[in-house]
Structure 1
Amino acid sequence: MEEDYDYESLGNNSTIAQNAMAGALAGIAEHCAMYPVDSIKTRMQVIQSTRPSVLVTATHAAPSSFVMRSGVAATYAPYNPTMLRNLWRGVNSVVLGAGPAHALHFTTYEACKEAFGANRPGHHPFTAAAAGACATLAHDSLMNPFDVIKQRMQLQDSTYKSVRDCARKVYSKEGIAAFYISLPTTLTMSVPYQSIQFATYEYFRKVINPRGDYDPKTHALAGGLAGAVAAAVTMPLDVAKTLLQTRGQNADPRIRNASGLTDAMMIIKERHGFRGFFRGFKPRVLTTMPSAAISWSVYEYFKWFMGFNAEEESLMTL
């Protein structure tokens, strides 16, 4: 019976509900697993003033207890138990947003991949990239407000008590625009990021496993490689997005009044030169590689698991 089961047909035969459930579980697993490293990346990217400032402090940042100044390890500080807990601030926002956003993401991806012909035998990087771009538009439109809340709570000087408290105070102080000021920048980054990731993933998946059989190692390796490539290419845009999403809590009037992508890019260039566009590069890549590997592995597993069970049930009814 197992020999007759065609894993490659899952993209065509899996239902919308199966794709949505697999996507939701993949999104939650992806974001939660590497959340502390993502918090470090956010704090390293934030520009606090016109002078070089402490990017990550020993009491709020990395478990290694480094004191980071201008991106250079300076001294060691005693371990503080509060440090690790603070790295998880805002994770509830990810859980609330990532589930439905990734469900919509992967459902849209599967539908567009089939419509564009990416499920045909052989390599189709452009159609896979186009499907990824469409999925990204749907995902980011839903996820952006949750991402703003997440990054506000990740800041080392954040005083928000909960996701609800953060959302309420940001709305009362800055209005609804605060939750979407970074959306154009996010889409400018995410569309090429996801297009590159999906196309690279599909390419590596077919190269590593030409038969197309279900293989967790293939999905993890292809996903990790795809995430690393996409993260490296879109790094400057991620720094600009962080500046825009955290601007409301910045003491610098120039940053607090940043109006969009172009303005954010100018500020980064003025303050730190071209190197400023790669602030937090290592944490971003270290976050994205395992996150993408986890996301694709979980997604492909649950898609296979639910599709396999559906196949078994249909055979039992014959």
Structure 2
Amino acid sequence: MSNKPTSATADFIAGNFGGMANVLVGQPLDTIKVRLQLDHGKFKGAWDCTLQTIQKEGFFALYKGMASPLIGIGAVNALLFAANSNLKQRLQTSPDQLLPLHKIALAGAGAGIINSVLASPVELLKIKMQAQFGNKSVNGAKHFTGPIDCAKYLIQRDGIRHGLFRGMWATIVREIPAYAGFYSGFEMTKRYLTKNEKEASVVELMAAGAVGGIGYWVFSYPLDVVKSVVQNQEKPPRGLYVTSVLKSIYTRDGLAGLFRGFTPTVLRSIPAAGATFTAYELSIRAFQVNGW
């Protein structure tokens, strides 16, 4: 991304554009990922999950839960990119310094922690909607008509901390390595493609963003499985649950259980992260040209 300082307003708006691009491009494969992460024998794999979803619920079931991230991901990404820009500026010894990659990773990890405050409830509501297989209540389980209905139910039953913010610690633990890999992967690839001599083209931004997206999941995927399981389970987690849930998944399903849904997730990350970084970077450039 550009090394020029940007205003908080520019970061906020550009982050919104980046977030919405991510959701629009990546939601169908994200739905498949979540369903596979929570699966206990219903699906034979990603393709089978996709076919069953379309056959039983229709094509637009792949976009289940999109309302929550489409509305909330703008704020999430705005906070993420603004925090990352601020942390990078704090790590610079001079305004024009090109940060080494380890500091890029450090700023990304810090931004991930800050981002968790909004990402956790937004993703919880998304996962609750995506996990609903079918269009009605099954075995007496509560069927949500939308994210607002889901949020009201969880808050009334479990309160804000254990209801709407369930899985907060799992989100934080995931976001630290995830965004270290996300931003350092993007920056490393962009520098390689441009040789630090010119602005990256749209194709180069897409390629660098795709590498950043892959880096996000390579460094964090088992932790994302833990987060999905915790946020979708009936009762709130207690204690230091991240390690205990990791152990229970491994004991039940082996290493494969911690990487269930990994392939569609990586495939999704290539266009989705590419779109995120490209939308953000092009927006920032437009704002800088106009003196924002």
TM-score (norm 2): 0.87
Q: Say yes or no: does 1:204 pair with 2:204.
A: no
Q: Say yes or no: does 1:165 pair with 2:149.
A: yes
Shift of 1:212: 3.3
Give the 3-state SS of the residue equivalent to 2:11 in structure 1.
helix
- Counting only pairs closer than 5 Å after superposition, residues 248-267 of structure 1 correspond to structure 2 as 248=234, 256=235, 258-259=237-238, 260-267=241-248
1:66-117 Cα offsets, whole Å, 9 max, x none, are 69xxxxxxxxxxx638321112121110022111111111111111112212
Match of 2:63 in 1: 88
Shift of 1:289: 1.9
**Distance in 2 between residues matched to 1:272 and 1:84, nearest whole Å:** 30
**Distance in 2 between residues matched to 1:266 and 1:26, nearest whole Å:** 35
Shift of 1:224: 0.3
Q: Say yes or no: does 1:136 pair with 2:112.
A: yes
**Distance in 1 between residues matched to 2:256 and 2:96, nearest whole Å:** 42
**Distance in 1 between residues matched to 2:133 and 2:155, nearest whole Å:** 19
Q: Say yes or no: does 1:38 pair with 2:30.
A: yes
Question: 1:181 pairs with 166, 169, 182, which one?
Answer: 166
Higher relative contact order (CA 8 A, sep 6+): 2
- For structure 1, which runs of at least 5 residues remain unmatched after alignment? 1-7, 68-78, 249-255, 312-318
Rg (Cα) greater in structure: 1
Match of 1:25 in 2: 17
Shift of 1:196: 1.4
**Is the contact between residue 40 and residue 56 of structure 1 (CA under 8 Å) also seen in structure 2?**
no
**Distance in 2 between residues matched to 1:174 and 1:45, nearest whole Å:** 24
**Is the contact between residue 132 and residue 194 of structure 1 (CA under 8 Å) also seen in structure 2?**
yes
Q: Say yes or no: does 1:217 pair with 2:203.
A: yes
Q: Say yes or no: does 1:234 pair with 2:209.
A: no
**Distance in 2 between residues matched to 1:197 and 1:31, nearest whole Å:** 17
**Where has structure 1 moved over 6 Å in runs of 4 or more?**
none
1:239-290 Cα offsets, whole Å, 9 max, x none, are 1111001012xxxxxxx46532122112201210111111001111112222
C-alpha change, 1:117 and 1:257, in structure 2 (3 Å) is: closer
Shift of 1:122: 5.0
Match of 1:145 in 2: 121
- For structure 2, which runs of at least 5 residues remain unmatched after alignment? 135-142
Give the 3-state SS of the residue equivalent to 2:15 in structure 1.
helix
Shift of 1:12: 2.8
